């Protein structure tokens, strides 16, 4: 092989590398340009308003024709005043061993996002495999890297009303320090293609307010909304909840005494105080009560939490539309009225 031939080959290689690098740069630049008008967390939380968790257990993920939540339900949510749907995604079951998401599952997600956008909803894509995650942290991180690598690129041109949430309720073996490292690495992946899209990150220990102090998020990333969940006291919200056999022998109990209300206020004010000290905005991504609690008290609890959250400028999402802790009775085709009108007065 002549020296000239080797020289030409290296030149071609160099040109090839330059083209790849510059096109990657152009994509990133175009993308950065494209997201430069995305809202700040503060602006966006105002528009998120009343929200609802949905689709976690919907058979739609196995087959679109079996969808439980239909357009008629989405219309009812919209008419009731809900502005945001937190879509609970259990994606790990739809990945192959190399981490590739099932194309059919992805196309169901494409369709769902398009439908929700056509109704005018904000969408939070919440990766909800928290149970698998707390059992095998290493596998969890690999799966989340696979998930966010694919999802962040697939939806990078979506409007700013599509938000990403790294992982629901990191807990147990995902200790605060494990979570700080893992969430930083996941965020880096998202930022390569979505420099300004708002991303929700919550503290460890089930997104507990008490763990906000141990949450470390990159200070120079201004497009983060910090999310917390609230189910206290669990003896009320989870009484007789079969999954995990919660408090099966305690007598049924209500909620709403002065001390219980003060506890909610103290917890929410503590969270707000953290947010102000850290210059962050909060989102109450889950709260709700299992069906065994007395209905009037479930409604009182829902109303008190949402009014307190709103008084602090937070948006919120009720857990959940259907299945358990439900706000809608799909079989009876009607809202659980006392809870709906507590959440959104006048409805
Ligand atoms: C949790 C979870 C959800 C669960 C619910 C009731 O915090 O995010 O998946 O079903 O609340 O415990």
Ligand 1 within 6 A of CB of 165 = no
C-alpha 71 – ligand 1 centre gap (Å): 25
Ligand 1 within 6 A of CB of 168 = yes
Q: Is 243 helix (H, G, I), strand (E, B) or coil?
A: coil
What DSSP line would sit under 82-141, residue for residue? --EEEEEE--GGGB-TT-PBPHHHHHHHHHHHHHHHHTT-EEEEEE--HHHHHH-HHHHH
Q: Ligand 1, from 92, 230, 319: best to mutate by most atoms within 8 Å of Cβ?
A: 319
Ligand 1 within 6 A of CB of 306 = no
- Residue 88 CA: nearest ligand 1 atom is 9
pLDDT at 120 over 70: yes
Contact 338, 296 (CB under 8 A): yes
C-alpha 32 – ligand 1 centre gap (Å): 35
C-alpha 334 – ligand 1 centre gap (Å): 23
For 314-333, what is the mean pLDDT? 97
Nearest to 171 by CA among 129, 142, 207, 216: 207
Taking only the tens place, the pLDDT of each residue in 290-321 is: 999 999 999 999 999 999 999 999 999 999 99
Q: Among 8-12, 91-95, 97-101, 110-114, whose mean pLDDT is lowest?
A: 8-12
C-alpha 344 – ligand 1 centre gap (Å): 22
Q: Is 54 helix (H, G, I), strand (E, B) or coil?
A: strand
Contact 146, 94 (CB under 8 A): no
For 148-177, what is the mean pLDDT? 98
Ligand 1 within 6 A of CB of 319 = yes
Taking only the tens place, the pLDDT of each residue in 63-107 is: 999 999 999 999 999 999 999 999 999 999 999 999 999 999 999
Taking only the tens place, the pLDDT of each residue in 156-167 is: 999 999 999 999
Please state whether the peptide bond connecting residue 233 to the residue before it is cis, i.e. omega within 30 degrees of 0: yes
Ligand 1 within 6 A of CB of 229 = yes
Paired with 101 in beta bridges are 95
Q: Which residue carries 């740069």 as its tokens?
A: 25
C-alpha 327 – ligand 1 centre gap (Å): 14
Q: Which residue has the higher pLDDT, 24 or 157?
A: 157
Ligand 1 within 6 A of CB of 205 = no
* Burial class for 88, CB neighbours closer than 10 Å (0-12, 13-18, 19+): buried
C-alpha 193 – ligand 1 centre gap (Å): 30
pLDDT at position 331: 94
Q: Which residue carries 């990078």 as its tokens?
A: 156
C-alpha 229 – ligand 1 centre gap (Å): 9
For 17-21, what is the mean pLDDT? 45
């Amino acid at each position: 092989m002549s020296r000239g031939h080797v020289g030409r080959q290296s030149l071609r290689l160099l040109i090839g590398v330059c083209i790849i690098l510059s096109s990657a740069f152009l994509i990133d630049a175009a993308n950065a340009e494209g997201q430069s008008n995305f809202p700040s967390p503060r602006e966006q939380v105002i528009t998120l308003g009343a929200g609802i968790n949905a689709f976690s257990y919907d058979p739609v993920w196995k087959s679109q024709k079996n969808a439980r939540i239909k357009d008629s339900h989405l219309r009812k949510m919209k008419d009731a005043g809900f502005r945001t749907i937190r879509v609970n995604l259990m994606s790990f079951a739809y990945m192959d061993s190399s981490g590739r998401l099932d194309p059919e599952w992805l196309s169901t997600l494409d369709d769902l996002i398009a439908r929700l956008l056509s109704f005018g909803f904000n969408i939070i894509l919440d990766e909800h495999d928290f149970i698998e995650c707390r059992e095998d942290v290493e596998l969890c991180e690999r799966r989340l890297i696979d998930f966010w690598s694919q999802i962040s690129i697939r939806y990078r041109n979506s409007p700013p009303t599509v938000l990403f949430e790294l992982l629901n309720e990191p807990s147990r073996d995902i200790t605060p320090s494990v979570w700080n490292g893992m969430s930083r690495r996941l965020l880096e992946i998202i930022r390569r293609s979505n420099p300004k899209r708002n991303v929700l990150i919550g503290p460890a220990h089930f997104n507990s307010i008490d763990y906000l102090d141990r949450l470390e998020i990159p200070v120079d990333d201004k497009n983060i909304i910090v999310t917390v969940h609230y189910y206290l006291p669990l003896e009320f919200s989870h009484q007789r909840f079969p999954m995990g056999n919660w408090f099966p022998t305690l007598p049924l109990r209500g909620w709403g005494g002065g001390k219980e209300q003060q506890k909610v206020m103290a917890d929410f004010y503590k969270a707000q105080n953290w947010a102000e000290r850290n210059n962050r905005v909060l989102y109450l991504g889950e709260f709700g009560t299992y069906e065994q609690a007395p209905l009037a008290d479930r409604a009182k609890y829902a109303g008190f939490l949402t009014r307190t959250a709103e008084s602090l400028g937070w948006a919120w999402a009720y857990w959940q539309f259907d299945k358990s802790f439900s706000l809608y009775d799909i079989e009876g085709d009607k809202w659980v009225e006392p809870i709906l009108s507590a959440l959104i007065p006048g409805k």
